Chains A and B, each alone.
Chain A
């Protein structure tokens, strides 16, 4: 298995809803990432998990809550989002965060719309 999968593909939620995005990889990668991409903009880093521990949080608001239950799975829990949080949410993984040189491989993304 050489890919990163994300579910759901699309999500529409109200500002009072609680939902979760899921990311999975079975490549044995030990670092996983969440990026947010607004229309016509490049991806922006949100969180990094290295060996299942949160290693980078790019000052993301607390209405986004990441979770890494095991080395293959990464979740992003969403609560009380704002319409400006509507974006494509991309998950990525890389083989070994202890190496200097790491390609990151991206999942297909979840397109989130907040009403």
Chain B
């Protein structure tokens, strides 16, 4: 059975801190790993990673994939209260495959 495991499940930090969220996976068919941010409603797309060692960056967020060790990390630097959300990691087998999600990391940024 496909498995996506995120850690930590919850994290409370102060504004300005840097956080690292982890995602490991065991799936039969891997094509890409995706990160989403979910606040009250729909998950919003952050990154899609397909190749090992290539960092994707968007502002204060960055992510990297290690296909040999089967994990990814999402880094957020200089955190702000608006970064408070659940961060979901998901794996795709490609094509029209649905996504298999981890349980998410609930991140709370305190002022």
Instruction: Check if A and B associate.
Output: yes
Q: How far is the CA of A107 from the CA of B94 in the complex (A)?
A: 20
0 or 1 for each of A35-64: is its CB under 8 Å from B? (1 = yes): 100000111110010100001101000000
- How many A-B pairs have beta carbons closer than 8 Å: the answer is 71
Binds A, one of B37-45, B64-72, B76-84: B37-45
Which residues of chain A are near B42, meaning CB under 8 Å?
4, 90, 106-109
Binds B, one of A13-21, A72-80, A96-104: A96-104
Is B59 at the interface (CB under 8 A from chain A)?
A: no
> Does B12 sit at the interface, judged by CB under 8 A?
no
CA gap between A41 and B41 in the complex, in Å: 13
Residues in A with CB closer than 8 Å to B102 are 42
Number of A residues, CB within 8 Å of B: 30
Identify A50's interface contact among B96, B99, B103, CB under 8 A.
B96
With A106-B42, A106-B43, A109-B41 in contact, do A100 and B101 touch (Cβ < 8 Å)?
A: no
Chain B residues near A (Cβ < 8 Å): 31-32, 34, 36, 41-45, 48, 50, 88, 90, 92, 94-104
Residue contacts A-B, CB under 8 angstroms, 11 given: A41-B103, A43-B101, A100-B94, A101-B31, A103-B34, A103-B45, A104-B34, A105-B45, A106-B36, A106-B42, A109-B42
